[in-house]
Chains A and B, each alone.
Chain A
Amino acid sequence: MSKNLKTALFSSILLLLISYPILGLKLSVVGISLQVQGASAQTLWTIGIAAALLFVWHLVLRDRLLGGDKLKGALPSIPANLKDTLTLPSVQRWIMLALFVVALAWPFFGSRAAVDIATLILIYVMLGIGLNIVVGLAGLLDLGYVGFYAVGAYTYALLAEYAGFGFWTALPIAGLMAATFGCLLGFPVLRLRGDYLAIVTLGFGEIIRIMLRNLTDITGGPNGISSIPKPELFGLSLDRRAPDGGQTLHDFLGIAYNSTYKVIFLYLIALLLVLLAIFVINRLMRMPIGRAWEALREDEIACRALGLNPTTVKLSAFTIGASFAGFAGSFFAARQGLVTPESFTFIESAMILAIVVLGGMGSQLGIIFAAVVMTLLQEMRDFNEYRMLIFGLTMIVMMIWRPQGLLPMQRPHLELKQR
């Protein structure tokens, strides 16, 4: 009972404390006493009643209603066999195929806004898959991943602005550029481990952003670079009027102009990039380098004793992961038509990392689901003020309910055929 009393007291006090900043209460000095201001009497009463209810709940009701079980028992749990089935590689392949069919049909049935959000989801899927190589497969905690995303975006933006490059030529260059940055930044920092690596990568992410903001002459500083051209389809523009001398798709096909075509086209490009990313990561996991990542994550010392150079192996993960971010970045720039340093703040890194962790480290299907959930949460304009609250709540629930992530990976094992 005393334990319950402690919990009850603690949670009621916590509620009072939290409601103070959230509901915008103010303490002001009136005469010689303090007075709570900034809220109606009704709000104050509600807070008081809520605190009292919470107290009673923790003191008596909780044990009685939930039979003394922990919170864990109260949450519905996924049946064990379903869990295992869902993480089987063969089942995941089918789900993936089904998702692909849905994704392909999506733009032709969904509204324009729905397609737009789906495109955003696909960008996050791509970023998640890229970060997954670094965090999930190679086990390197990278908090500055958004830096490479920025490098990719700015590469395309600058190439388009100063050299007149189109999206398709800039795309591989952006990937290469991000990979180069990954390699250059990775080389000195990959000697570090765990927390230290996390802090240094966090610093690098910020350095890239601040550098972009302060190179005002080239990058336009905080205003960024605008009017970045949209991708073209074999040289055909999807705009209403083609820029100087080009031809537009609707003219070419002889159909009426419709602005949704452009959105759908962008969506399909994103889908293509995601499919490529999934293909590449699937191959990587079955390649010697993928095995080396896994081995390195498990035991670095043993790897060294077997002649694997840990720095090279880590660097390869870092570089390949960064190149994915570069592709995603240049697509992002093309879609927005505008890049500013503020699109690449730490919160983006955190969001991508959250997608990887929520999805279940190393699993692609998990990442796709997590990207959908996270992006929808982010896009819920109605709950804008409560977004971070929901975000945090989701995290807590996930950690209690499924600490290993939504759909943790079952790595494809190479099998020795028994003779």
Chain B
Amino acid sequence: MSRPILEVSGLSMRFGGLLAVNGVSLSVNEKQVVSMIGPNGAGKTTVFNCLTGFYKPTSGSIRLNGEQIEGLPGHKIARKGVVRTFQNVRLFKEMTAVENLLVAQHRHINTNFLSGLFKTPAFRRSEREAMDYAAHWLEQVNLTEFANRPAGTLAYGQQRRLEIARCMMTRPSILMLDEPAAGLNPRETDDLKALIGVLRDQHDVTVLLIEHDMKLVMSISDHIFVINQGTPLADGTPEQIRGNPDVIKAYLGEA
């Protein structure tokens, strides 16, 4: 059993009179694919926003490797290795695919003002390494031939893959994907599934997933959390969830 990397307990998020998330607890183990499912409006994305610092949770604690991270601003949490994608693709559309990947490496390259101004050898080396790393990941997501095209001109499925590659540029320990398969055709979904497997097995990334495509969720997840109307409903392995009467009721309604 691997050790837990992300532990969330009693997470609540209140918007005025609306309690969007109520007492959600998660425990995510290292190098696993963990899915969060639930009907529309259940509060899954709100949980994501709390975890990544886009919202400040009303109460509850979030621990990353034992360190409290709740309430930190988004970019600080991202620097601790928690990066995410968005439900709607958020690429830098005017920039080329490879430039999108370079921006994401901002923190890992030489950003010294003077060395950049005078193109010192250290600066050149750092730029070259960033370029090589970007090229490596473009190949991983099969986009090498589109490297110099503006990201906005890529097909939707390609944009989705580029977004995942861009997240990988930050060398994350947890990758949070918000509905990555939305709008993909069955073949692209299969590619995505393979890619997520590669991320977990070869790059030691923990993947936290929100997804409505049950086939994908059931086939790839190591663990599933179900959320309904902001409250946790069930959690367990895909088999346990599949047979859970509460989950079936939440999705299909009372029989």
Binding site for B on A (CB under 8 A): 280, 283-284, 287-289, 291-292, 294-295, 298-299, 301-310, 411, 413-416, 418
Determine the distance from Cα of A42 to Cα of B52 in the docked complex, in whole angstroms: 75
Determine the distance from Cα of A280 to Cα of B54 in the docked complex, in whole angstroms: 35
Whose C-beta in chain B lies nearest to the C-beta of A293? B103
Whose C-beta in chain A lies nearest to the C-beta of B139? A419
The answer to whether B74 has its CB under 8 Å from any CB of chain A is yes
The answer to whether B135 has its CB under 8 Å from any CB of chain A is yes
Known contacts A294-B94, A298-B94, A418-B147: A305-B84 contact under CB 8 Å:
yes
Expressed in whole angstroms, the minimum distance between the Cβ of A172 and any Cβ of chain B is: 14
Query: Cβ of A416 and Cβ of B103 under 8 Å apart?
Result: no
Query: Cβ of A305 and Cβ of B52 under 8 Å apart?
Result: yes
Expressed in whole angstroms, the minimum distance between the Cβ of A292 and any Cβ of chain B is: 6
Residues of A within 8 A of B170 (CB): 306-307
Whose C-beta in chain B lies nearest to the C-beta of A291? B103
Determine the distance from Cα of A283 to Cα of B98 in the docked complex, in whole angstroms: 19
Chain B interface category by residue count:
35 or more
Determine the distance from Cα of A414 to Cα of B138 in the docked complex, in whole angstroms: 15
Determine the distance from Cα of A294 to Cα of B91 in the docked complex, in whole angstroms: 12
Binds A, one of B109-117, B180-188, B240-248: B109-117
Secondary structure at the A interface, as helix, strand, loop or mixed, is helix
Residues of A within 8 A of B144 (CB): 416, 418
Query: Cβ of A416 and Cβ of B86 under 8 Å apart?
Result: no
Whose C-beta in chain B lies nearest to the C-beta of A283? B117
Residues of A within 8 A of B135 (CB): 416
Query: Cβ of A306 and Cβ of B83 under 8 Å apart?
Result: yes
Whose C-beta in chain B lies nearest to the C-beta of A307? B78
Partner of A294 from the list B85, B92, B145 (CB cut-off 8 Å) is B92
Query: Cβ of B131 and Cβ of A416 under 8 Å apart?
Result: yes
Known contacts A299-B90, A302-B91: A415-B74 contact under CB 8 Å:
no
Expressed in whole angstroms, the minimum distance between the Cβ of A150 and any Cβ of chain B is: 25
Query: Cβ of A308 and Cβ of B86 under 8 Å apart?
Result: no
Whose C-beta in chain B lies nearest to the C-beta of A298? B92
The answer to whether B160 has its CB under 8 Å from any CB of chain A is no
Determine the distance from Cα of A415 to Cα of B99 in the docked complex, in whole angstroms: 8
Residues of A within 8 A of B110 (CB): 288
Expressed in whole angstroms, the minimum distance between the Cβ of A137 and any Cβ of chain B is: 12
Name the interface residues of B201-254: CB closer than 8 Å to any CB of A.
none
Residues of B within 8 A of A283 (CB): 116-117, 119
Known contacts A302-B91, A306-B83: A289-B116 contact under CB 8 Å:
yes
Known contacts A305-B83, A305-B86, A306-B170: A289-B111 contact under CB 8 Å:
yes
Determine the distance from Cα of A288 to Cα of B110 in the docked complex, in whole angstroms: 8
Residues of B within 8 A of A411 (CB): 94
Residues of A within 8 A of B131 (CB): 414, 416
Query: Cβ of B99 and Cβ of A414 under 8 Å apart?
Result: yes
Query: Cβ of A414 and Cβ of B83 under 8 Å apart?
Result: no
Binding site for A on B (CB under 8 A): 52, 54, 73-75, 78-79, 83-86, 90-96, 98-100, 102-104, 106-107, 109-111, 113, 116-117, 119, 131, 134-135, 138, 144-145, 147-148, 166-167, 169-170
How many A-B contacts are there with CB distance less than 8 Å?
A: 114
Partner of A288 from the list B90, B106, B117, B145 (CB cut-off 8 Å) is B106
**Given A294-B92, A298-B94, A413-B96, 6 further pairs, Cβ under 8 A:** A295-B103, A299-B91, A307-B75, A307-B78, A310-B75, A415-B96
Query: Cβ of B98 and Cβ of A416 under 8 Å apart?
Result: yes
Partner of A307 from the list B91, B95, B107, B109 (CB cut-off 8 Å) is B107
Determine the distance from Cα of A309 to Cα of B72 in the docked complex, in whole angstroms: 12
Closest 8 CB pairs of A and B: A307-B78, A287-B116, A416-B147, A302-B90, A304-B74, A295-B103, A416-B98, A298-B92
Residues of B within 8 A of A299 (CB): 90-92
Residues of B within 8 A of A418 (CB): 144-145, 147
Partner of B167 from the list A298, A306, A415, A416 (CB cut-off 8 Å) is A306
Partner of B74 from the list A280, A295, A298, A305 (CB cut-off 8 Å) is A305
Expressed in whole angstroms, the minimum distance between the Cβ of A331 and any Cβ of chain B is: 21
Query: Cβ of A292 and Cβ of B74 under 8 Å apart?
Result: no
Determine the distance from Cα of A221 to Cα of B96 in the docked complex, in whole angstroms: 52
Expressed in whole angstroms, the minimum distance between the Cβ of B90 and any Cβ of chain A is: 4
Query: Cβ of B78 and Cβ of A295 under 8 Å apart?
Result: no
What are 29 A-B pairs at a CB distance below 8 A? A283-B116, A283-B119, A284-B117, A287-B111, A287-B113, A287-B117, A288-B106, A289-B111, A292-B103, A292-B106, A294-B95, A295-B92, A295-B100, A298-B94, A299-B90, A302-B86, A304-B54, A306-B75, A306-B83, A306-B103, A306-B170, A307-B75, A307-B78, A307-B79, A307-B83, A310-B75, A413-B95, A415-B96, A416-B144
